[in-house]
Amino acid sequence: NAGVMQNPRHLVRRRGQEARLRCSPMKGHSHVYWYRQLPEEGLKFMVYLQKENIIDESGMPKERFSAEFPKEGPSILRIQQVVRGDSAAYFCASSPPTIRRDTGELFFGEGSRLTVL
């Protein structure tokens, strides 16, 4: 059973370009979270999605950032017009569907490291 797959693992962009980060959750998982991590810091929540729905995007900047989790295919975190401050590791996590509030047992990918020149 493959784990959470993120790609690319490393991405270099120049200021003003777009970055697209992809996340394929574990088989059978319908919940996806995206987090951002700066060096020596914890993971900051960005967005929580279920298939075709954004459940909570309170941690995501209102401008330039967007996320989707289509019915088919991976979840995508898109950053438009990147700036140097967007340089970070972006982690995706998935969790299985649950009939009650999500328990917080998350399965993480290895992250995508974005460097903005």
Task: Return the number of the residue (14 or 100) whose C-beta is nearest another protein.
Answer: 100
Task: Return the number of the residue (72 or 104) whose C-beta is nearest another protein.
Answer: 104
Closest distance of CB 23 from another protein, Å:
11
CA–CA distance, 111 with 96 (Å, rounded to integer): 19
* C-beta neighbour count of 56 within 10 angstroms: 12
The answer to the question of residue 1 lying near another protein (CB under 8 A) is no
Task: Return the number of the residue (93 or 116) whose C-beta is nearest another protein.
Answer: 93
- Asked if residue 107 lies in contact with residue 94, where contact means CB atoms within 8 angstroms, the answer is yes
Member of 58, 71, 72, 84 binding another protein (CB under 8 A)? 58
Q: Which amino acid is at 1?
A: N
Contact partners, residue 38, CB within 8 Å, separation at least 6: 88, 89
Member of 77, 79, 106, 116 binding another protein (CB under 8 A)? 106
The answer to the question of residue 42 lying near another protein (CB under 8 A) is yes
CA–CA distance, 44 with 38 (Å, rounded to integer): 9
